């Protein structure tokens, strides 16, 4: 049975806290039940919602098909931008792409790059169903997201939300750190299993991870990457990432209410699964729409290039299929920011040829140019492809809702506050 354990807060005098947060007292930390490996029995409504969502994901995956391999770059970055946006990191798709290619940028941009890497890791390595998921896998995933922190599960109490830097004023206090290894090992076994509806398993795994809050920081981003592990391990999707964080970023209140219900005794599992299933459907529709928009944009840019070449008197107006300028145009969805060096390496061309092709695409209005503070050109960018990422990750945040105008049911988890660091009680 889940339980609330009474704990004592008595910080050091030199902890640098305000008067209210220095005040000793007791608080309740929540310890959830272990999940085991089998899915729980749900209501007919929850089972139906999960089945419907699974069918929507399957149709989206089939509709996107092999194109997903080329468009996952944009989808993963849309997912990572929204996931990091939830945690307070604000970065545009263009700044993210530039930081990723140049390996430097703002702290926020580099944090989102780390989230991209973690999502890719979750999909490729943890989603390998021939290997069990372990606690060390979770630790590695979180370490990719937060490399500045020591690797491993937390060894101190943390908490979520609240008006100060004390668990006495927190919105939610996860289990004491002594309970974390047992609960994480159980969660790893739950994620390893693949029987039953993957939507239900992903919903419960995500809520359980957020409830355990096993790390000092990076819990929200790690927990959202975990969703993709579950869906891919269970073969719910094969070709495409479902950008579910674009939906989570839409309604904080509903999401917090869902997690609060999950922590009740008995837990409100039906409501949580229904809300999660609806979010998955909206995310699948977002993915399909992004693929369709990119396909249409690629066709439009190809015609713009032909028109430009015709006006310049270049022959042939439509480049040969093996022309470098055409090859660059074909990879912009996957690599929307390029340097001369990256284009030459990627397409096995000379730097001079790559430079000429990039200049031609810029002259045609297809690529933008980014310069550093000294006015030196540093890269070329497919701004209209990157704008589609911004539209996707904003679709459930500004105005919200699905393609039919229905409001999203979920929103982001509360941002971690009050990390103790060396301020142990």
Note whether 258 and 407 are within 8 A (CB): no
The pLDDT assigned to 366 comes to 96
Note whether 202 and 276 are within 8 A (CB): yes
pTM for the model:
0.82
The pLDDT assigned to 5 comes to 94
Tell me the CB-side half-sphere exposure of residue 24, using CA atoms within 13 A. Answer: 6
Of the candidates 367, 311, 309, 306, the residue with the CA atom closest to the CA atom of residue 336: 367
pLDDT, one tens digit for every residue, the chain (425 residues): 889 999 999 887 766 778 788 888 999 999 999 999 999 999 999 999 999 999 999 999 988 887 766 666 677 776 766 666 556 666 677 777 777 787 777 777 777 777 777 777 777 888 888 999 999 999 998 988 888 888 999 999 999 888 778 899 898 999 999 999 999 999 999 999 999 999 999 999 999 999 999 999 889 888 888 998 999 999 999 888 888 877 877 766 677 788 889 988 889 999 999 999 998 998 898 888 888 898 899 999 999 999 999 999 999 999 998 999 999 999 998 888 999 999 999 999 999 999 999 999 999 999 999 887 777 778 899 999 988 876 655 555 433 433 333 333 333 333 332 332 222 22
Give CA–CA dist 162/404, Å, rounded. Answer: 35
Of the candidates 115, 119, 122, the residue with the CA atom closest to the CA atom of residue 96: 115
The pLDDT assigned to 200 comes to 97
Give CA–CA dist 299/284, Å, rounded. Answer: 23
Secondary structure of residue 386 in the 3-state scheme: helix
Of the candidates 36, 413, 48, the residue with the CA atom closest to the CA atom of residue 252: 413
Tokens (6 digits) for 171? 């919105």
Secondary structure of residue 47 in the 3-state scheme: helix
Domains in the chain and their CATH numbers? 3-288 (1.10.3290.10), 290-388 (1.10.10.10)
The pLDDT assigned to 69 comes to 65
Note whether 7 and 167 are within 8 A (CB): yes
The pLDDT assigned to 418 comes to 30
Tokens (6 digits) for 152? 């491993």
The pLDDT assigned to 82 comes to 66
Give CA–CA dist 92/106, Å, rounded. Answer: 11
The pLDDT assigned to 157 comes to 92
Q: What is the sign, positive or negative, of the torsion defined by CA atoms of 351, 389, 218, 57? A: negative
pLDDT tens-place string over residues 184-210: 999 999 999 999 999 999 999 999 999
Give CA–CA dist 267/52, Å, rounded. Answer: 23
The pLDDT assigned to 46 comes to 97
Sheet with 368-371, strands from edge to edge, namely 337-338, 377-381, 368-371
């Amino acid at each position: 049975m889940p339980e609330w354990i009474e704990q004592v807060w008595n910080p050091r005098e030199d902890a640098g806290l305000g008067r209210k947060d220095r005040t000793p007292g007791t608080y309740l930390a929540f310890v959830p039940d272990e999940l085991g490996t089998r899915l729980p029995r749900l209501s007919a409504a929850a089972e139906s919602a999960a089945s419907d969502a699974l069918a929507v994901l399957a149709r989206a995956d089939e509709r996107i098909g092999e194109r997903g391999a080329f468009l996952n770059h944009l989808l993963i970055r849309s997912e990572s931008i929204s996931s990091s946006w939830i945690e307070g990191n604000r970065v545009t798709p263009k700044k993210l792409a530039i930081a990723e290619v140049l390996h430097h940028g703002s702290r926020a941009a580099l944090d989102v790059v780390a989230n991209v890497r973690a999502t890719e890791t979750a999909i490729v390595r943890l989603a390998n169903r021939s290997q069990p998921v372990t606690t060390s896998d979770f630790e590695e995933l979180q370490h990719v997201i937060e490399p500045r922190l020591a690797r491993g599960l937390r060894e101190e109490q943390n908490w979520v939300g609240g008006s100060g830097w004390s668990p006495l004023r927190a919105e939610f206090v996860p289990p004491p750190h002594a309970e974390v290894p047992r609960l994480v090992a159980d969660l790893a076994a739950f994620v390893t299993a693949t029987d039953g509806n993957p939507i239900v398993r992903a919903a419960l795994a995500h809520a359980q991870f957020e409830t355990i809050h096993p790390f000092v920081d990076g819990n929200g981003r790690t927990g959202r990457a975990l969703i993709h592990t579950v869906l891919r391990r269970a073969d719910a999707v094969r070709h495409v990432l479902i950008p579910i964080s674009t939906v989570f970023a839409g309604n904080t209140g509903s999401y917090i209410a869902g997690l609060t219900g999950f922590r009740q005794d008995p837990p409100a599992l039906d409501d949580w699964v229904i809300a999660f299933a609806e979010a998955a459907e909206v995310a699948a529709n977002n993915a399909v729409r992004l693929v369709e928009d990119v396909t249409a944009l690629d066709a439009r840019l190809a015609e713009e290039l032909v028109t430009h070449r015709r006006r310049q008197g270049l022959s042939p107006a439509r480049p040969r299929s093996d022309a470098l300028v055409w090859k660059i145009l074909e990879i912009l969805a996957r690599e929307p920011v390029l340097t001369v060096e990256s284009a030459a390496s990627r397409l096995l061309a000379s730097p001079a040829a790559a430079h000429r092709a990039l200049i031609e695409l810029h002259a045609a209005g297809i690529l933008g140019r980014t310069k550093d503070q000294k006015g030196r050109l540093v890269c070329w960018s497919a701004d209209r492809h990157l704008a589609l990422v911004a539209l996707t990750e904003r679709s459930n945040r500004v105005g919200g809702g699905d393609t039919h105008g229905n409001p999203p049911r979920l929103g982001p988890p509360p941002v971690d506050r009050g990390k103790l660091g060396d301020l142990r009680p």
